[in-house]
Amino acid sequence: MVNERKLEIAAEIIVSSENIVAFTGAGASTESGIADFRSKDGLWSKYDPSIYASYHYFLEDPSKFWVMHNELTEKLENAEPNHVHYGIAGLEKLNKMTAIITQNVDMLHQKAGSGDYDNIPIYELHGSYGKLECIKCHKEFEYEEVDTKSVKYPVCDCSGFIKPKVILFGESLPPGILESAINAIMLSDCFLMIGSSLLISPANLLPQLAKENGAKTIFINRENTMRDDLADIFLRGYAGKIFQELLKKIHIKL
């Protein structure tokens, strides 16, 4: 049970804020049926990420990646947003959100309507499964345009391998994404961290940037993080359930 007083303080911070940045990790989507990659039921328990999610191995033989990715996309296609995603979209309607930063590739923020209100940017640090690209000629494709199920791996007309625009181990983040996210954080007055253990760099540096630039920081996560010291308020538990209770305090109905 979340401490009622902590919920009230977090709600007061949100109500008094005008430039909120939300940062979401895997824990924001687990209540949509998408397991954390590192959980006992996650993809890494079945597929060794150093092989199946390695850009080096992808260049040698994309088939292993596509076996894993096809299993993931079946879950992503059927996943629906939960209270976290709809709640963030609700804060956008109140003109309180200035940016969303996410480690997730599931596009559930878009499904919930985020980005539709005043063109709030969604910075997808690890890319998105909904866009694909030829790694040779860089032609882009929509997910629906490419047959990924009846072939070992999709190939472009130019003979280059087609790959989703997700970031594999050994790849750099998309150009400009991190810089834009940092700029948004530096202008924020409230930083909502939802569903991340803050283990992975550079994303784990973002709460500190927010704190150093004067933003109030609210952490919502099932477990302790590596940077609990940066949280003004830590609400521990399932993100969707906590977010639902939190938004009741500020009278947003989901």
* Sign of the Cα pseudo-torsion (43, 48, 49, 53, in order): negative
Cα-based torsion angle of the residue sequence 84, 128, 182, 239 in order, rounded to the nearest 10 degrees: 20
Residue from 123, 124, 230, 107 nearest 184 by CA: 123
| 3-class SS of residue 212 | helix
How far apart are the C-alpha atoms of 69 and 52, rounded to whole Å?
A: 9
Number of residues that this document lists for the chain:
254
**Structure token pair of residue 147:** 């047959």
| 3-class SS of residue 34 | coil
Contact status, residue 216 vs residue 232, Cβ threshold 8 Å: yes
Which amino acid belongs to residue 230?
L
Q: Is 56 a catalytic residue?
A: no
Among residues 69, 109, 126, 138, the one annotated as catalytic is 126
How far apart are the C-alpha atoms of 44 and 48, rounded to whole Å?
A: 6
Strand order in the sheet with 20-24: 122-124, 97-102, 20-24, 190-194, 216-221, 233-236
Kindly calculate the radius of gyration of the chain based on its CA atoms and give it in whole angstroms: 18
Contact status, residue 55 vs residue 105, Cβ threshold 8 Å: no
Query: Which residues form the catalytic set?
Result: 126
